[in-house]
């Protein structure tokens, strides 16, 4: 019979709290005892993870990190703290990711409208509107999620401290912890702090590819949270790093323009069209090829249509672009929302 990971984890915690399996009066040194207890806490943490008890897992990893730190094992302490931070950050996600179905949904009969019927078309439109609403209105973190991420931030900062003190530590290891901290700041809506921390991670990574990957990942995290201005700045940072390469390869030659197109979109999404226009003009100075892209023309033309309150013109520009552009649900949802604002004016769209 398979053992219950939750029960096994609790046993390991109890043993660790007693100071390990051996007696404190054995021949083992105090350091040996601390290491044994730390390993038991890690065993417990892994058991809690298998049982989906992530807060307990995080607490056990954190305790292991403290014990490793107590006798100078900085590398093991850092690793345990990183695992603790990840477990804290994921704790509420696991709880909420598989909600129980409602009674009404269980009792409702399964049905499907005939393909092409008015009912089917209405269902498709309703589903489309629901998805658009979700994209345009990212859910705010619940109090439980914020609590878990505050704990994650606290422990990740301990990991960073251990990484900085670690003998022979590389900047790469420090950068990974900084990137983790930045992501937590995004969840907590500390956007300015998140931007700064992503910047520090990029500096710590040092090499060309890793900072760019970090900035792009950060940009998408910001965008998912609806922090479009910060998302644009992350892509601008990726462009700056790309342009700083004195010997760009043929395979990365077009990357800067692609990043500028993403930054342009996120600026447009903010509804601040004065800043967006300035950004687009500046991007043309950064890379003249950007001014030749369909995206540059798209956003400039759409802003003119919005300024003129030209709903028909806006729709024609949008549909013409979408006929040839790759599908992008987020972009399409935002463009349609801007179009709808011509019927229902959106006070957030700022030309002044």
pLDDT of residue 14: 72
The region of weakest confidence among 41-45, 126-130, 154-158 is 126-130
pLDDT of residue 3: 59
Name the region of 19 (left: φ>0; alpha: ψ -120 to 50; beta: rest).
Answer: left
Give the residue, 51 or 252, on which the prediction is more confident: 51
Asked if 294 and 325 touch (Cβ cutoff 8 Å), the reply is yes
Cα–Cα distance measured from residue 233 to residue 229, given in angstroms and rounded to the nearest whole number: 6
Q: What kind of fold does domain 1-95+141-169 have according to CATH?
A: 1.25.40
Asked if 58 and 50 touch (Cβ cutoff 8 Å), the reply is no
165 Cβ neighbours under 8 A, 6+ residues apart: 74
The region of weakest confidence among 151-160, 171-180, 232-241 is 171-180
Ordered by start, the domain boundaries in the chain are: 1-95+141-169
pLDDT of residue 100: 37
Q: Averaged over 228-257, what is the pLDDT? A: 85
Other CB atoms within 10 A of residue 78 CB = 27
* Residue 59 host element (H or E): helix 54-70
Residue 52 burial class via C-beta count within 10 angstroms: exposed 0-12, middle 13-18, buried 19 and up: middle
pLDDT of residue 31: 83
Does 277 score more than 70 pLDDT? yes
Give the residue, 20 or 120, on which the prediction is more confident: 120
pLDDT of residue 113: 59
pTM of the model: 0.80
């Amino acid at each position: 019979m398979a053992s219950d990971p939750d029960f096994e984890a609790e046993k390991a915690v109890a043993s660790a709290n007693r100071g390990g399996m051996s007696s404190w009066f054995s021949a083992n040194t105090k350091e040996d005892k601390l290491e044994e207890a730390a390993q038991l806490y890690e065993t417990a943490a892994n058991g809690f993870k298998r049982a989906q008890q992530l807060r307990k897992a995080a607490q056990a990893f954190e305790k292991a990190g403290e014990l490793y730190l107590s006798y100078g094992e900085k590398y093991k302490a850092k690793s345990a703290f990183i695992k603790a931070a990840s477990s804290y950050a994921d704790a509420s996600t696991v709880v909420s990711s598989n909600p129980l179905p409602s009674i009404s949904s269980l009792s409702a009969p399964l049905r499907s409208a005939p393909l092409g019927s008015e009912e089917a078309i209405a269902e498709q439109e309703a589903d489309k509107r629901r998805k658009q609403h979700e994209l345009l209105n990212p859910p705010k973190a619940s109090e439980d999620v914020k609590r878990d991420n505050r704990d994650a931030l606290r422990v990740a900062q301990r990991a960073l401290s251990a990484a900085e003190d670690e003998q022979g530590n590389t900047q790469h290891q420090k950068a990974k912890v900084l990137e983790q901290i930045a992501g937590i700041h995004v969840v907590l809506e500390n956007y300015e702090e998140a931007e700064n921390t992503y910047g520090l991670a990029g500096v710590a990574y040092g090499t060309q590819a890793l900072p760019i990957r970090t900035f792009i990942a950060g940009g998408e995290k910001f965008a998912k949270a609806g922090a479009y201005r910060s998302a644009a700045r992350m892509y601008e940072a990726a462009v700056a790093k790309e342009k700083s390469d004195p010997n760009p390869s043929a395979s990365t030659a077009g990357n800067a323009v692609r990043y500028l197109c993403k930054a342009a979109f996120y600026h447009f999404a903010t509804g601040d069209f004065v800043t967006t226009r300035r950004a687009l003009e500046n991007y043309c100075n950064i890379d003249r090829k950007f001014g030749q892209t369909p995206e540059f023309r798209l956003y400039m033309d759409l802003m003119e249509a919005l300024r003129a309150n030209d709903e028909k013109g806006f729709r024609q520009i949008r549909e013409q672009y979408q006929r040839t552009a790759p599908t992008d649900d987020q972009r399409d949802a935002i463009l349609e929302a801007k179009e709808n604002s011509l019927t229902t004016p959106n006070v957030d769209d700022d030309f002044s």
